[in-house]
Structure 1
Amino acid sequence: MVAVVIVGVVAQQPSGDSSSAIADEQSGENNGEQTLDLARRIDGEVTAVGEVDAPVVLVEYADFRCPFCGVFARDTLPVLIEEYVDSGQMRIEWRDLPVFGDESVAAAVAARAAGEQGYFWEFAEVVFAGAPERGHVALPPERLLEIATEIGVPDLDKFVADLDSAEILAAVQIDASEAQYLGIASTPLFVVNETPISGAMPVQVFRDTIDSELAKVGH
């Protein structure tokens, strides 16, 4: 079971502006209180990309059926990987927050099942590539298997068996519980070290935030 790493006491927040909820916790730093640290830095974690000791960690709370998560995945994520992850400056850690029903939960499990064989990000890329700019992509079981086949998951029998894995489902639920604990009710929501970004903002917003966090740690 993956541990939830939280520094400080985080109160349950009402639904609404999720970034404000996290920013309220972060503001404790100015009052001499403990602040929020969501990075897990687990070596070999299939839902993360980048060096485990990178100075900046971007945590993304997302749903595979969220259209704005798709916008980020298509337009911004490749840029951030090229500019910050490949250079060792940043690590990206995915968090499942399935808010659009049973198909969202099933897709989260399926992506992790693909990840068990080293294909989490390839699975996510195909899902988001086919997502509409508005509305929610349909991801029935046959489509999940189709995607796994398309990206070349080597052991499809294991993939299908893992779709019913209680352990993988528990990992999805841990992420969702963490988000609920933090008062995050919508996707996508990002936390760059301790700085929140709400929504699929332009890539320059991410660059400015990442650069600011790098400067704080002397990079």
Structure 2
Amino acid sequence: MDRGLSETQSGSEERYETVESTPKRNALGGKGYRILVIVLVIIALVVSALVLIFTSDPSRLPVNQASPSDRPTSVWTDPQTEWDADSSPSPDANASPTPNMEEVQAQNPIAARYTEIAEQKGLSAKNYEIVPTMYDSVRGQLMANPALPEGTPEALGPADAPVRVIVFSDYLCHYCQKLHEESWPVLEEKARRGEIRLEFYHYTIFSQLGSDKAAFAAHAAGLQGKFWEYSDLLFTEGATTPDAHGKARIAEDKLDALAQKLGLDMNKFHADMNSADTQNFVSGQTGYASSLGINATPAVIINGTYISGAYPSQLFENVIMVEKELLQDYPAAEQKAAAANNTAPAN
């Protein structure tokens, strides 16, 4: 740090000597020359001071302000720590800010067993065959969240299925479309066979472009027994038109066209789409996603495992398989009970 400052000062001194020896001094005149030199020296000193400040004070550099609790934490990822705002940015050299992997696994036997099952089956996260799971307390919270009530259009498969798959999606999200194209058929087929409970949650992160209207329309179609068909059309055919800035925006006439294609009662469709019940339902699902700390789509929760992003269908099948086998060692009730025990390492 001191070295950087001295080099900058040295550079300004060399520049001063060079200007002194050039014939331009006489052309500028003594007064003009002195002003030029003073300005150059001031600029060099200001730059030097800024370099010193930003390299010697880490608190002035941009830092990630997100709390570790803002998102699910994986037992395959070292837990992050957060220093108190009033404390020194240098931790105690003798302190152990995070426990080692053995301690983490001992405190989270359910998650450790998930990892063991995956390894026994030869599944690798590096090869996108499996994803890490959460701490036991987080897993318990995810599993304890109530399922969508029977009769909800966005739910498919038996409510008592051993594995519940929740998909958070937005109809204007390109990666959600990718997930729908590549993985949704497999998930839907498993739900129709009764192997899983599949729940679709509207997370309208592109509501400024009308994705909330698409969600209202899909729910309204669902009230006529056509949610899955209408949702599929939204992803495969779309219901957008370019706005003045060239961005794809949901167009209500195209929402109507999809409804007509499915033979829906248009009067009921419009009434349900614009009803307070429908709009509260969609906004409630979006709020629920936010409360979990999810900030992007698509996101998938399979029992107690959180998956962010679109992956090949085989990965979802593998997680479902591991979660189902995990229930043999840790029944759902036991896993849910872990939510009351904060076994995650303290920050």
Query: What TM-score do the two structures reach when normalised by structure 1?
Result: 0.81
The counterpart of 1:23, out of the listed 63, 73, 87, is 73
Q: Which has the higher helix share?
A: 2
- Alignment match, 1:11: none
CA distance in 1, matches of 2:68, 2:167: 16
Larger radius of gyration: 2
Pick closer, same or farther for the CA change 1:118–1:15 going to 2, 3 Å: farther
Higher RCO (C-alpha under 8 Å, 6+ residues apart): 1
- Alignment match, 2:141: 35
- Alignment match, 2:256: 145
SS at match of 1:44: coil
- Alignment match, 1:172: 282
The counterpart of 1:44, out of the listed 131, 137, 151, is 151
Pick closer, same or farther for the CA change 1:17–1:200 going to 2, 3 Å: farther
CA distance in 1, matches of 2:270, 2:312: 37
Given residue 162 of structure 2, which amino acid in structure 1 is its aligned partner?
P
1:18-42: per-residue Cα shift (whole Å, max 9, x none)?
9x812369744279x9532245142
Unpaired runs of 5+ residues, structure 1, are 1-13
Does the 8 Å contact 2:134/2:304 carry over to 1? no
Superposed displacement of residue 178, structure 1: 0.8
Confirm whether residue 120 of structure 1 aligns to residue 227 of structure 2.
yes
Map of 1:101-116 to 2, 5 A cutoff? 101-102=207-208, 103-116=210-223
Superposed displacement of residue 182, structure 1: 1.1
Given residue 44 of structure 1, which amino acid in structure 2 is its aligned partner?
G
Pick closer, same or farther for the CA change 1:168–1:216 going to 2, 3 Å: same
SS at match of 1:59: strand
- Alignment match, 1:88: 194
1:123-164: per-residue Cα shift (whole Å, max 9, x none)?
1100111259xx9754211011111111222x1101011221
Superposed displacement of residue 111, structure 1: 0.4
CA distance in 2, matches of 1:29, 1:179: 20
Given residue 70 of structure 1, which amino acid in structure 2 is its aligned partner?
Q
The counterpart of 1:191, out of the listed 284, 287, 301, is 301
Percent of paired sites with the same residue: 31
The counterpart of 2:160, out of the listed 45, 49, 53, is 53
Confirm whether residue 208 of structure 1 aligns to residue 318 of structure 2.
yes
Unpaired runs of 5+ residues, structure 2, are 1-64, 76-132, 240-245, 330-347
Query: What TM-score do the two structures reach when normalised by structure 2?
Result: 0.53
CA distance in 2, matches of 1:183, 1:198: 12
Pick closer, same or farther for the CA change 1:167–1:208 going to 2, 3 Å: same
RMSD: 2.9
- Alignment match, 1:73: 180
Does the 8 Å contact 1:39/1:193 carry over to 2? no
Pick closer, same or farther for the CA change 1:90–1:99 going to 2, 3 Å: same
